[in-house]
Amino acid sequence: MGIFKYRNFSLMFFGRMISNIGDSLYGVAAMLLIFQLGGSTFYTGLAGFLSILPRIVEFSAGPLIDRIPIRSLLIRTQLIQSGLLLVIPLAYYLDYLSVALVLILTPIISVFNVLIFPAQLAALPEVLPEEKLTKGNSLFTIAYQGVDITFNGLAGILFVVIGPFALYMVNSIAFLIGAMIFSFIRLPNRSVAKVETEKTIRKKGFKTTMQNYIQDLQEGITTMFKSFIAKLLYGAIILNLVSAATLAVFPAFGEVIGGAQYVGFLLMASAFGSLSGALIAPLLKLEQIPIGKLYAFGYLISGSLWTLSALMPVAWLTLVLYMISWIPAGALNVLVFTMLQKIAPKHLIGRIITAATSLSAMAAPVGSLLGGSVGAWIGSVLVVICSGISVLIVAICWLINTEVRNLPPTKSLDENSLVIQREG
């Protein structure tokens, strides 16, 4: 593929794949180990909540991503995660292992993990020409979803075959290899003006640095909410909320449609649908379609199929419809990052991307708690149906909103598009 002739992109892509392998293995290993140690799904639910929690403050990483060299950030986060993962087998051999220790490490590891994705997205315009951004974003999504589909299932098998502590060692090695790959990246030097600005800030002391840090956060968030991005962001927030709510009732919903084994099939269906959407996004030339209409009709298709999937009398039909409902989401996910990379001013790109991803992620822990609680009251099937209807409502709201409906194609967007929106 022609895009891999760009050396830095290739290194970022393969480094991302390796780190995603470590992340997928760790996610399943931690969940199974916590259940083994605690003997209750309460602890696995708490672990899930704690792992999602750091994404809520992901926007605070924006100024760090804009200021710290991306290469250094990628290497250090991988090395720290690799070291933290070794704490678990070490604690086991020293007889200090407990469910509390694993729960404490879960959000700490997640904090470093949430830096990787926005850091790489912010660096993408530096390693690829503008016309290759959609393809690059698509491949990054494929790397994530493809690894997720494969290694989530493999992690469960490895947990049984080699044991949890050997699996933690494998996780640690994966992050270490990721750090080694990232070390070969060579990004352009930052401007002299930017370096001098950072030196001046450091000289002024901690108080001034924090004031500038807070100002940077506010600038990124304010810029985003004064533009059309905010209107599309509301839909992403709803989608994350109902996705987490649906995920929370998967064990019960799996039993309804055919048995506990269908929980894994449902997870694979959503991941495969998202991956398929990411794969076809560049082929369909979605950048040439008005983005507002694309989002509205994409959510309309997703919401309809999502709702219908819960009403099917046969399990395989449920899986097929649920999988297809995720294809538009996968395609739009690629497109939205291309849009953000094109319209965000270079000095704000990290702040805007992390603000958008973290604000939409805030809905996930709420959705998880809400889905589990409501599911116990009205049943899992109704939770899935209500989730699909919620996505449909978002689509209808976008269709009747003139401003969203008239948004131009992604291909036509640039930094001036954001400026015009802010001034308007």
Q: Is the pLDDT of residue 284 over 60?
A: yes
- Residue 123's nearest CA partner among 181, 77, 188 is 188
**Quick one: CA dihedral 105, 362, 335, 424, positive or negative?**
negative
Separation between Cα atoms, residue 83 and residue 150, nearest integer Å: 25
Return the residue matching tokens 């649920």: 322
- Give the N- to C-terminal CA distance of the chain in Å, as an integer: 42
Query: Quick check: 309 pLDDT over 90?
Result: yes
DSSP assigned state of 191: P
CA pair distance 291, 399, nearest whole angstrom: 12
| Rg for the chain, CA atoms, rounded | 22
Amino acid identity, residue 40? S
Q: Which of 18-22, 112-116, 215-219 has the lowest mean pLDDT?
A: 215-219
Q: How confident is the model at residue 193 (pLDDT cuts 50, 70, 90)?
A: very low
| 3-state SS assignment for residue 110 | helix
45-49, 246-250, 252-256, 358-362 — which is least confidently predicted?
A: 45-49
Query: What CATH architecture is 1-188?
Result: Up-down Bundle (1.20)
Q: Convert the pLDDT of each residue in 154-186 to its tens digit.
A: 666 677 778 888 888 988 999 999 999 999 988
Beta bridge partners of 290: 409
**Among 392, 404, 407, which Cα is nearest to 301's?**
392
87 contacts 105 by C-beta, under 8 angstroms: yes
**Domain locations along the chain:** 1-188, 226-424
**Which CATH code fits 226-424?**
1.20.1250.20
Q: How many CA atoms lie within 13 A of 32 on its CB side?
A: 20
pLDDT, position 423 = 46
Q: Alpha helix (H) ranges present in 39-98?
A: 41-52, 62-67, 70-85, 87-93
The shares of helix, strand and coil residues in the chain, as percent rounded to the nearest 5, are 85, 0, 15
How many angstroms separate the CA atoms of 163 and 27, rounded?
Answer: 15
Mean of the per-residue pLDDT values for the chain?
77
Q: What is the pLDDT of residue 327?
A: 92
Pair of tokens at residue 96: 């200090």
For residues 174 and 19, the answer to whether their CB atoms sit within 8 Å is yes
Reported in sequence order, the residue ranges of 10-146 that DSSP labels E, i.e. its strands, are none
pLDDT class of 323 with cuts at 50, 70, 90: very high
Across residues 243-250, what is the average pLDDT? 78
| Fold: same for 1-188 and 226-424 | yes
Residue 354 pLDDT more than 90? no
24: left (phi over 0), alpha (psi -120 to 50) or beta: alpha
Alpha carbon distance 52, 113 (integer Å)? 11
pLDDT tens across 226-245, in order?
A: 666 777 778 888 888 888 88
**Tokens standing for 379?**
């049943």
Give residue 424's pLDDT band: very low, low, confident or very high (50, 70, 90).
very low
Largest CA distance in the chain: 68
Tokens representing 228? 């059309």
